[in-house]
Amino acid sequence: MIDDAQVPMPLKGVRVVEFTHMVMGPAAGAMLASLGADVVRIEPVGGDSTRRLLGSGAGYFPMYNRHKASVCLDLKSEDGLAVARDLAANADVLIENFRPGALDRLGLGYEALSAINPGLIYCSEKGFLPGPYENRTALDEVAQMMGGLAYMTGPPGRPLRAGASVIDVTGGMFGVVAILAALNERHSTGRGQMVQSALFETTVYLIGQHMAQKAVTGRAADPMPARISAWAIYDVFETRDDPIFIGVVTDALWEKFCKLFGLDDLWADESIRANNARVQARDRILPRIRELIAGFTRAELIDRLEGSGLPFAPIARPQDMFDDPHLNASGGLEPVTLADGTQTALPALPIMMGGRRPGTPSTLPEPGADTRGILAGLGYSEDRIEALFAGGAVG
C-alpha cells in the first residue's frame, strides 16, 4: 500500500490547465501531475478522440492522462470559451499542442490570456519551433524521418522509426523543463512567459552525438545496424534459446570477461589488450565469442554475468515489464484503474526524490467527470453550472 504522505509532491498547489491531444501535450501534463501539480485536462464534450484509438494508439490515453481531472468544454460556443478563459485566468501553467494558431483563433493564445493572467506560463508544444517549417504539420514519425533518427535506427537505405513515441514523449519532457525553469524565474520577476518545445528540434538534439561525430572525425555516422561500434563486443548474441545483449566497454571489463568465460588465450594476447586494438580485430574476436555464447542458455548466462559488472540485458518485450521483478520491487509500476474498471499497472515517473518514487494509484476519469467540481471551484453558482450543462457548453 502506497502511503500518500510519503510520496514526493514538489509541485503541489501548481495549477495546470491542459488543452492537448494525442501524446506530446498529454505527456507533459502527466509528468507535472505525477509531481503533484493539479492538472485539469480539457476535452471536447463527449471526450477526447484519443480515448477511442485502436491498435498502437490504444495505450496513449491511459499512459499519459493519469492523475488529471477531466473537464469537457465546447470551445465552439461562447459559454465554453468563457469557461476556458476563467480556467486560464486561475492557472499557473497552460499546456497546448494543437496546430499553430488554433488556440489563437479561439482567443486562447498567449497574448490574450497573459493579458488577464500576467503570471501565466504558457507552454506551446509544436512540430517545429519558429522558422521556415513552423506551419508544417508534424508527427512523431515525421520528426524522426526529418531529424535523422529514423536514418540512424534502420539499416542502410531503410529508415526505421523507433518502436515507441520517443520524440512525442521527449518533446513533452523538454516542455516540462521549460515550464519548471519559467516557474523558477517567475519567483523573481512575478511574470509568466510563453515557452515552447518541438518535435523536430527534439529529434535533432537527440541525434546531436552523431553530428558531433562528423565534426570530430570528418566522417558521417553510419546507421546503427551498419555502424562500426566503439567496442568489439557490444551486440546481441544468440544463445541456445533466447538472445542476450552483452557489452565489453573497457579494458578492465575485457579482462573480467575473459576470466569469467575461461578465455585465457585471448587475455594472454597482448595485441588486443587495448580497446581500439580489439575493435580493429573484431572480425577475429567476434566469431569466437558468438560460438562461446551459443553454448549457453540465456538463464545460464544471466547467472554467470549477474554481479560481474559486465553490461548485459535479456531481450524483453513491453508486456514482460508487467512482471519484471525489479520494477515491481522498486515502485517502478503504479496501480491504475482504467475507465472500464480494469486493474493494471503502468510505469511511474522514472525518477526518485528524497529516496522515494513519485506517483500514487490512479483512476482514469470518465470524460467530464470533474466538470461540476472544477466549475464550482471557480465560484460558479449551481444555477449557472446547470445552465451550462443544459446549453451543451460543458459536459
Per-residue pLDDT tens digits for 337-385:
998 899 999 999 999 999 999 988 999 999 999 999 999 999 999 999 9
| Those residues with Cβ within 8 angstroms of residue 318's Cβ, 6 or more apart along the chain or in another chain | none
Q: Kindly report, residue by residue over 182-231, the tens digit of the pLDDT.
A: 999 999 999 999 999 999 999 999 999 999 999 999 999 999 888 878 89
DSSP 8-class letter at 246 = E
DSSP state of 274: S
Tell me the pLDDT tens digit for each residue of 144-190.
Answer: 999 999 999 999 999 999 999 999 999 999 999 999 999 999 999 99
| b/e 286-305 (16+ beta carbons within 10 angstroms → b) | eeebeeebeebebeebeeeb
Q: What is the pLDDT of residues 258-286, one digit of tens each?
A: 999 999 999 999 999 999 999 999 999 99
- Domains annotated for the chain, with CATH where assigned, are 4-206+331-390 (3.40.50.10540), 229-319 (3.30.1540.10)
Query: Can you say whether residue 107 is alpha, beta or left, with left for phi > 0 and alpha for psi between -120 and 50 degrees?
Result: left
pLDDT tens digit string along 103-137? 999 999 999 999 999 999 999 999 999 999 999 99
Residue tagged 493579458 (cell numbers): 115
Average pLDDT (312-330) is 96
CB 10 within 8 A of CB 33: no
CB–CB of 121/94 below 8 Å?
A: yes
**Strand partners of residue 235:** 246
As separate numbers, helices (DSSP H) first and strands (DSSP E) second, the chain gives 18, 12
Per-residue pLDDT tens for 4-32?
Answer: 567 899 999 999 999 999 999 999 999 99
Paired strand residues for 43: 72
CA dist., res. 334 & res. 341, Å (int): 15
Asked if the model's pLDDT at residue 1 lies above 50, the reply is: no
- Report the candidate in 58, 92, 18, 120 with the shortest Cα–Cα distance to residue 370: 18
